[in-house]
Amino acid sequence: MILPRPGAIDCDMHVNVPDVRALLPYMSDYWQDQIVTRYIDRSSFAHMSYPPGSPLSGRKDWVPQDGPLKSVPGGGLADVQTNLLNHFGIGMAVCNVIHGSNSLFNEDMGAEFCTAINEWLVREWLDREPRLRASIVVHAQNPQLAVDEIERRAGDPRFVSVLLPLMGDAPLGRRIYWPVYEAAQRHRLSIAVHAGSTYRYPTTAAGFTSYQIEDYIHMSAAFENLIVSFLAEGVFQKFPDLKLICMESGFTFIPTLLWRANKTWRGVRAEVPWIDEAPAEIIRRQVRFTLQPVDAPRDEEVLRKIFRQMDCDDLLVFSSDYPHWQFDGDEALPDGLPHQLIEKILFDNPRDAFPRLDAETAATIQLAGSHS
Amino acid sequence: MNAPFDAPSADSSARQRLMLVDCDIHPIQKPGAVAQYLSKQWRDHMMSFGGHVRQGLQQRIAWPRMMASGQRADAYPPDGGPPGSSYEMLRDQHLDPHGVEHGMLIALSKGGMEERNQDFAAALMHACNQWQKEHWVDRDPRLHAGIVVNADDVDAAVDEIKLRAKDPAFKQIILSPRTNEPLGRRRFWPIFAIAQETGLPLGLHPAAHPGGAPSTGAGWPTYYMQEHFTFSTASEAVATSLVMEGVFEEFPKVRIAMIESGLSWASILGWRMDRIWERMRAETPRLKHPPSHYLRQNFWFATQPIEEPENPQDLIDVFDWLGWDKIVYSSDYPHWDYDDPRFVFRIRLDDSKKRALFRTNAMTLYNLE
């Protein structure tokens, strides 16, 4: 179904860096020299998790057919305004940049790419379109460098979350990552974990798959393991104000996750004594999921049952996943979404998921930034 | 799950009426139990080198279990052997009192599934299968062995299956879902060919030791709580691989039993695969049907550890979506999270559904009479 009224908050949309040269102006002299003399700027940083020509990566009518951004899924600002913001009457949209540099092994180079991407976001997008917000891109392999980047951007209220790849060097609940969560909570930034792997390991416990479709299918299972990692390590107790937002995770698996997490915990709770309430309650309070993709048959009854099983109106936040091909035409909402949920998903839940989307909070941050 | 075991009485009349098939019983080798089936070379090898598995601890699992080494504390036999090593105890504690008409043996430990030395693995699986037959099946006709194989050594696995397939003691083939590569990949296809030829189902049961790839896709978990959770996500990966590689187009009669892997994920995985396949089907031209078709046709699911929805009635939706004809009861005796057949389902089931879950589905799956 179509969006009922304008002003929806799109919590997961993508802008694509067209090529490495676009980032050069935002890099230091040393890295500009490195990138150019090593010809690093001459080949694509397309991400293995989202090959640009793959049907999922770009809905056909959202991929420019000519011009300087030909074949770049989602195109540039004018395309985003036309196809997404104006067309769907989006009130605010959170840009998540998925860039291949997040799988570089050289963490200094990786961190420089992040700095450049964030600066590129500010100059090319946020400064030019007031409806846009963004996640801070960080090189998660080195949590200290990630924290440095968070500190660099935290004064800009248009950055509303920290973006981490779902599958990186270690399960994200591990304590080596806690400085990132400490910084995020302190700055009222949410943690946005987006589907994708840096391919440090096979994407599945069964080894490297043959097909891209398998990698993509398995993302939802990896999200389950992510949430269980956060639970088991005690991240939610340590950072009670932090929201974990699962981006492009799917959501129909939530009931089975809640049940299994509860049951396993009842059996092994002595191993993780810091978990002092049922995991399902912790998830309902601190974990959020973007609406797309909708992993359900086109049968309203099924979706209604899934929502009844989830037994919580707070879990989902609206996303278009632009320019990924999750829906056709204007059907940004699946049929069968319970009516009382639609308003929550489009407006209330996003504001709860991203404290910085609240205008008053944003103003406070701006004020603090101007004094520093 | 940790509640003290409430022993049923063997002569309880209600139980006598409902005979059941238990699709997951673990016979455990006492130290030295299979020595007589190994050549001197491999006995010496076992003494000097021991096992060579894919983790840092040789003798035990790197995520220590919570209670009694992951076993029912009341299932330690008086002779000092490990739980699951005593036939008499299995009979008195489980088979007789619960009216188990057929019990499917899943021999996990030291069966060679996880051994990296392929020749040693071949010797171990051969020995383990012989031990299952002589020490269990020959003593009690209710028990049925599964041919344990090391799938990573396809040739040896096929040889062992050929050797055992004609023996009625063996009713299925047991594989670990944690092979070096996803099980659907073509190097494993000779195993599916022989499975189809012999009509034996393939039982996939998470092995105790990890496989070659980290269990979360993002590295290794810290806690057993997480590793236990990955039993289901790893099984999702294997199911996806089998479907997407086109195994069931090539071998349409192959039947897969997912054991101790959970089951509520399966329908959701089917929906997810179908939706994504709408976009990506050009990548997998072997598939003639939407992926969920194969999940529905070729897979069975064992119940333990049974899902416990917050609202017990939600289990009915799960079973509706999965198919009542594809669900088979399993107890996981003698493990700590054993599901007692009297209490496993907290929903009201009519007699025909009860019969299907506890008996007839498994009879069909395993060609039992």
Query: Given A255, A260, A267, which is nearest B2 (Cβ)?
Result: A267
Q: A-chain residues within 8 Å CB-CB of B243?
A: none
pLDDT value for B1:
41
Q: B-chain residues within 8 Å CB-CB of A222?
A: 216-218, 233
Strand partners, B144: B104
Query: Given A205, A210, A228, which is nearest B245 (Cβ)?
Result: A210
pLDDT value for B212:
80
Q: What percent of chain A has pLDDT over 70?
A: 99
**Residue A16: pLDDT band with limits 50, 70, 90:** very high
**Residue A369: pLDDT band with limits 50, 70, 90:** low
CATH code that applies to domain A8-371: 3.20.20.140
Q: Choose between A246 and B16: higher pLDDT.
A: A246
CB within 8 Å of chain B, chain A residues 269-308: 270-272, 280, 293-297, 302, 305, 308
- Whole-model pTM: value is 0.96
CA B317/CA B312 separation, integer angstroms = 10
The stretch A151-168 carries a mean pLDDT of 98
Q: CA of B100: how far to CAs of A371, B6, B23, B144, in Å?
A: 75, 17, 10, 12
User: What is the overall mean pLDDT for chain A?
Assistant: 96
CA B326/CA B192 separation, integer angstroms = 20
Residues 6+ apart with CB under 8 A from B253: B196, B199
Shortest distance between the Cα of A149 and any Cα of chain B, in A, equals: 23
pLDDT value for B152:
93
User: Residue ranges per domain, chain A?
Assistant: 8-371
Kindly report, residue by residue over A185-198, the tens digit of the pLDDT. Answer: 999 999 999 999 99
Q: B-chain residues within 8 Å CB-CB of A301?
A: none
Shortest distance between the Cα of A202 and any Cα of chain B, in A, equals: 6
Query: Given B218, B314, B317, which is nearest A166 (Cβ)?
Result: B218
Q: Is the pLDDT of residue A88 over 80?
A: yes
DSSP string for residues in B147-174: EE--TTSHHHHHHHHHHHHTSTTEEEEE
CB within 8 Å of chain B, chain A residues 170-209: 170-174, 197, 200-209
User: Residue ranges per domain, chain B?
Assistant: 17-365
Q: A-chain residues within 8 Å CB-CB of B310?
A: 258-259, 262, 280, 311
Mean pLDDT by 10 residues, chain B (369 residues): 49 60 96 94 96 88 85 91 95 96 92 92 97 97 97 97 98 94 97 98 87 91 95 96 98 98 96 97 97 98 96 96 98 93 94 96 96
Q: Indicate yes or no: CB of B234 within 8 angstroms of CB of A222.
A: no
Q: B-chain residues within 8 Å CB-CB of A171?
A: 216, 218-222, 226
CA A136/CA A313 separation, integer angstroms = 27
Is A325's Cβ below 8 Å from some Cβ in B? Answer: yes
Q: CA of A112: how far to CAs of A106, B71, B239, in Å?
A: 10, 51, 40
pLDDT value for B7:
56
CA A314/CA A309 separation, integer angstroms = 13
Fold of B17-365: TIM Barrel (3.20.20)
pLDDT value for B59:
84
Shortest distance between the Cα of B15 and any Cα of chain A, in A, equals: 27
φ/ψ region of A250 (left if φ > 0, alpha if ψ in -120 to 50, else beta) reads: left
| B-chain residue closest to A264, CA distance | B225
Q: Is the pLDDT of residue A370 over 70?
A: no
Radius of gyration of chain B (CA): 20
Q: Indicate yes or no: CB of B311 within 8 angstroms of CB of A167.
A: no
**Residue A372: pLDDT band with limits 50, 70, 90:** very low
Q: Indicate yes or no: CB of B218 within 8 angstroms of CB of A197.
A: yes
pLDDT value for A368:
74
